[in-house]
Structure 1
Amino acid sequence: MRDLFIGLMSGTSMDGVDGVLAGFSAGAPRVLQHASAPFPTALRQELMALNASGPDELHRAWLAGNALMRVYAEVVHALLSHAQLPASAVQAIGAHGQTVRHRPQAFDGTGYTIQLAQPALLAELAGITVVADFRSRDVAAGGQGAPLAPFFHQEIFGRPGEDVGVLNIGGISNVTLLRADGSMRGFDCGPGNALMDGWCADHSGAAYDDDGRWAASGQVITKLLASLLAEPYFALPPPKSTGRDLFNRPWLQAHLQGFRDAAPADVQATLAELTARACADDIQRHAPALKRLIVCGGGALNGHLMRRLQALLPNAQVESSAAHGLPPLQVEAAAFAWLARKCLRGEKLELTTTTGARGARVLGGIYPA
């Protein structure tokens, strides 16, 4: 198996980079190596800050993109070292970049989505062709630019004759609904780990709530949960996508105005319930007969969140993607290796039922080694 690609993903959790080396046979990938690297504290802080307007943004964003590519390159070198392969053995790197703004269809009818990346720099550092900027063509074609992973989910997790749901819980959560007849739908549900991680960092000093233990120790604040769930985004029909532009610290603080005396653990429990409810409500609304839900992303490692999803979806079997051969933290990185291969082969993806784009498009820009 020499059809080798690397996929790199840094998601809305903004905690670091996951990378995979994948080999392809008959179109389906097999992960051969996995590596990851955390963001240096200063880079993570800058990336978080760039989610909102601030001084000298163009200068800061370009330098942050350079720094991000250096972390990406570290992961690439780790993958090659583990596999004992030269850079020349890899056809291309699929590099997602770091989303800092996501406003499709806003302002002028087209809007934009911004994934910070300097793919030319990564091509120089790695010595490998880089495919990047996957989302902007979709936005240009009238789509949401997200989610893109459903096409990969269909390739890996689709089962003929069976309805399957694939729920990715990163910083933002998105669901793919794979129908028994081969049709597909995908969209963003709402917050994933972003609000929980931020609250945990602010009030416990930990970067995230390990296994959801802190949330499990608290009590859901019913009135706060109702206020959060009243956000109009949750009632929008798909196609729809979202990000930290909406679900961010100021959004949460606005809802907490009447709950200043709430125990931090109770707020964490409520945020976990918000994520679970937003996902479960969308699944019940759009796939009420679903019998199997495969969960990936960092949220799949949160035992409390997984238990809440199972309780809210009693008729479905909720299980980790690890049970289907692909560990949760490898799925999205593998998806961008797959998307890079699609781009190099000039293969279009039919985007209408997921992002709402006008039709099939080739996604990504190519930066040769």
Structure 2
Amino acid sequence: MSGTSMDGADAVLVDFSGARPAVLAAASQPFPDTLRAAFGALQQPGEDEIHREALAANALAQVYADCVAALLREARIDAASVTAIGAHGQTIRHRPGLYDGIGYTRQSQHPARLAELAGIDVVADFRSRDLAAGGQGAPLVPALHHALFGSEAETRVACNIGGISNISILPAAGPVSGFDCGPGNALLDYWIGRHRGLAFDSNGDWAASGRVDAALLAQCLAEPYFSAAPPKSTGRDLFHSGWLEARLAAFPQLPPADVQATLAALTAEAIARDVRSSAPDALRLIVCGGGARNAFMMARLAQALPGVAIETSADYGVPVSQVEAIAFAWLARQCLMRLPGNVPTVTGAAGPRVLGAIYPR
């Protein structure tokens, strides 16, 4: 899995033979600066896009192959022991048609090249079939969230905070639902990169040094996406640097640390609003992804959701960096077994669909 934070690839080796998925090993591979810059540039229209995207996809296949090799070394097994690789690719455009009727999503990668390099079957292109069936193509993790964190005794919400944040509503009884809440770490990473030259705000320390500006927070929350009804999904197509800069134009004197604090509060408040409106009986919010390591953001969530226990996936035995990767291993398994991978109540698709395309080794 490589998500909207665009910082690298995470891989897990998962055994699905038991009642719950069991992670046998994990590995990660950072993106070279050149690849991260290439994918960042592809978020917006530009010259020679086809050529640049093809080169980035080739480079990503090598990063994925290196990550798989590290995983196999960690697990001390060979490629022949692995049934398949579920490879998400790097999202460079996500336009599911929420506002303008344009329905497509683009995850850049070269799965055939990965199959060649790794010597393992590859399953890729998980989102397009859901879109073809009238869905958003996202989020695709709620089914796994339910398997890992659901309870028959209480309603819970699982929340992934990557570049974009999303929630999965896991009722004690009834269908699973979920949707993208809005920005996660994407705007925070952009802002600290611009002002401090860092890839991310470790522990939310820089945000904690600032002050949340109520006027800027209100202006950001006025974005129509936040009040749109689900099913809905979003990405850097909407929440990018230009979106932020347009809202900062009215606040030229605001200290950069205050902007960082406000962006962290934006992520937390958007999630909290969605929990309050869509899962008012939730007793627990189980957070995974990089945002789970942001103490300032987690504290804001606790303030915004009194009476809801704020936990992380690690409290349930799943490291916060592994949940998304487990999900795409599970989706690959579903594809190979010709079983649905989407949840129509989440994505809005016309019905359950088998997701993915298979690239034999």
Q: Structure 2 length normalisation: TM-score?
A: 0.98
Q: Tell me: CA distance 1:83–1:44, structure 2 relative to 1, closer, same or farther (3 Å).
A: same
- 1:83 deviates by 1.0
Separation of aligned partners in 2, 1:308 and 1:63: 40
The corresponding residue for 1:73 is: 65
Separation of aligned partners in 2, 1:336 and 1:254: 35
The corresponding residue for 1:190 is: 182
Q: Which amino acid aligns with 1:69?
A: A
Secondary structure (helix, strand or coil) at the match of 1:255 reads helix
Q: Which amino acid aligns with 2:309?
A: Q
**Structure 1: runs of 5 or more not aligned:** 1-8
Separation of aligned partners in 2, 1:304 and 1:368: 45
The corresponding residue for 1:206 is: 198
- 1:350 deviates by 5.1
CA contact (8 A) 1:351 1:360 kept: yes
- 1:63 deviates by 0.9
Aligned with 1:337 (options 329, 335, 352): 329
Separation of aligned partners in 1, 2:101 and 2:242: 26
Separation of aligned partners in 1, 2:231 and 2:324: 20
Q: Tell me: CA distance 1:271–1:350, structure 2 relative to 1, closer, same or farther (3 Å).
A: closer
Q: Map Cα deviations across residues 255-292 of structure 1 (whole Å, 9 max, x no partner).
A: 00011111000000000000000000010011112111
The corresponding residue for 1:125 is: 117
Identity %: 59
Q: Tell me: CA distance 1:212–1:108, structure 2 relative to 1, closer, same or farther (3 Å).
A: closer
Q: Which moved more, 1:93-102 or 1:341-350?
A: 341-350
**Do residues 232 (structure 1) and 224 (structure 2) align?**
yes
CA contact (8 A) 1:160 1:182 kept: no
Q: CA RMSD in A?
A: 1.1
**Do residues 53 (structure 1) and 53 (structure 2) align?**
no
The corresponding residue for 2:233 is: 241
Q: Tell me: CA distance 1:115–1:27, structure 2 relative to 1, closer, same or farther (3 Å).
A: farther
The corresponding residue for 2:92 is: 100
Q: Which amino acid aligns with 1:171?
A: G
Separation of aligned partners in 2, 1:273 and 1:197: 14
Q: Which runs of 4+ in 1 moved over 3 A?
A: 106-110
- 1:24 deviates by 1.2
Q: Map Cα deviations across residues 217-256 of structure 1 (whole Å, 9 max, x no partner).
A: 1001111111000000000011000000000000000000
Separation of aligned partners in 2, 1:263 and 1:46: 30
Separation of aligned partners in 2, 1:66 and 1:205: 27
The corresponding residue for 2:277 is: 285
Q: Tell me: CA distance 1:58–1:27, structure 2 relative to 1, closer, same or farther (3 Å).
A: farther
**1:293-332 to 2 correspondence within 5 Å?**
293-332=285-324
**Do residues 353 (structure 1) and 354 (structure 2) align?**
no
Separation of aligned partners in 2, 1:177 and 1:61: 35
**Structure 2: runs of 5 or more not aligned:** none
CA contact (8 A) 1:106 1:112 kept: no
CA contact (8 A) 2:98 2:232 kept: no
Secondary structure (helix, strand or coil) at the match of 1:328 reads coil
Separation of aligned partners in 2, 1:167 and 1:294: 6
User: How many residue pairs were aligned?
Assistant: 361
Q: Tell me: CA distance 1:238–1:86, structure 2 relative to 1, closer, same or farther (3 Å).
A: same
Separation of aligned partners in 1, 2:25 and 2:64: 15
Q: Which amino acid aligns with 2:15?
A: G
**1:4-23 to 2 correspondence within 5 Å?**
9-23=1-15
Q: Map Cα deviations across residues 42-97 of structure 1 (whole Å, 9 max, x no partner).
A: 10001000000000101110110010110001100001011111100000000000
The corresponding residue for 1:144 is: 136
